[in-house]
Amino acid sequence: MSKYVDKKIMTDFNATMIAEGVDEADEQTQLMAWAHLIKTGLCWRLQGWFGRTAANIIDRGIISKDGEILV
């Protein structure tokens, strides 16, 4: 299990590093990272790739626009 799930730690930095692929993470932790980026709105303030990826994740019904994991 991921250290982020175990300790329930998901900071802006951690979420960004997971989304970028710098920190390895399992699928659930990746979803948590994207949910954090969407919930905080950070994905819309970072470089364009984050916003486009977040929009795709929302459009596909994986995470809600409010940052709730739906799958």
- The amino acid at residue 21 is G
* Domain boundaries of the chain, sorted by first residue: 7-59
- Rounded to 5 degrees, what angle do the CA atoms 66, 42, 65 make? 20
**Cβ atoms of residues 17 and 26 within 8 Å:** no
Predicted pLDDT at 40: 97
Predicted pLDDT at 9: 82
Bridge partners of 4, per DSSP, are none
- What is the sign, positive or negative, of the torsion defined by CA atoms of 7, 57, 54, 70? negative
pLDDT tens profile 31-70: 999 999 999 999 999 999 999 999 999 999 999 999 999 9
In 1-71, alpha helices (H):
3-7, 12-20, 27-40, 42-45, 48-59
